[in-house]
Amino acid sequence: MTSGPLDQLRILVPESRELDLFAGMLEKKGATTRRCPLVQILDLEDSTEAEAWIGQLLAGDFRDVIWMTGDGIHRLVGIAERIGRRDAVIAALKRSRAITRGPKPTRALRELGLPAPWLPAPEPTSQGVLQAFAAEDLTGRRLGLQLYPGDGGLPLLDGLRARGAIVFPVTPYRYASDSDTTEVLQAIQELVGGQLDMVAFTSSAQLTRLLAVARDAGLRNTLLHALTRMPIAAIGPVIETTLRELGVRTILRPERNFHLKPLVNVIAAAWQASRLPHGGAA
């Protein structure tokens, strides 16, 4: 049997949308994955506010649009299609300047056939988006802003308004729990019991749900203690920041290219290094 760089690694994979792809990449390198999808992205139950935002876009109320997630782009275009305005929205987006936070919204724009140039954030964070506007006067500037569920994008909203921008936010999808609570609790027990060696987070929402289930079961502090004693993989700086605020110090993250393949490579390199004598170099 051929050995792989992740042989003997037991890793919790809470990804939902690309679960099979991500877990398969890890398993191909020899890992044993514990699949426990935590958060599912769903359409809005009531899209009235999103439809109003689309109307503002079509009316030319804002020429700059900040895209925080690829899912946000796809969901808004989906809403536009349901109300018969897809072609009009694509045309409006071609007339607007896109500011993208990270590779996923950039990829989503390309998939829609929207032309560059865009204004990419220097790093895929809210602060990175603000830095993209560093040389521009935002006083009175009317900006569209696609947010994601929760309050993670509020610092960006506040930062733009503090610089004088008039911001029109929209949240075009919602999160729902994926695995039931019993399954999540079982995964938490495996983490705190030492049956898993690592967790690989691909969104902050996954961490939020894991902690919420642990809190409701009276296990939040126990889970946090376990997470601080193992390496945690994070696909990008947003999740890394959240983990550090919780006291996690051993965080594995790609330096750039925040995609699954670079994340798997970082995990493999760290796992190989941990298995060398005293964790040293060969």
Q: Which CA distances in Å does 45 have to 49, 67, 134, 173, 174?
A: 11, 21, 37, 9, 8
82 and 192 assigned to the same domain: no
- Does the pLDDT value for residue 1 go beyond 50? no
Say yes or no: 129 and 212 in one domain.
Answer: no
Distance of alpha carbon 271 from the chain centroid: 23
- What CATH number has the domain bearing residue 194? 3.40.50.10090
What does the pLDDT look like over 87-118, one tens digit per residue? 999 999 999 999 999 888 998 999 999 877 68
Q: Give residue 282's pLDDT.
A: 37
User: CA-to-CA distance for 268 and 244, rounded, in angstroms?
Assistant: 22
Residue after which a domain boundary falls, among 128, 149, 175: 175
Q: Is residue 2 part of a domain?
A: no
Give the pLDDT confidence of 26-64 residue by residue, as tens digits: 999 999 999 999 999 999 999 999 999 999 999 999 989
- Domain range spanning residue 231? 10-38+178-279
Residue ending a domain, among 144, 175, 206, is: 175
The CA distance from 131 to 122, in Å, is: 7
Task: Record the pTM.
Answer: 0.81
Q: How many domains does the chain fold into?
A: 2
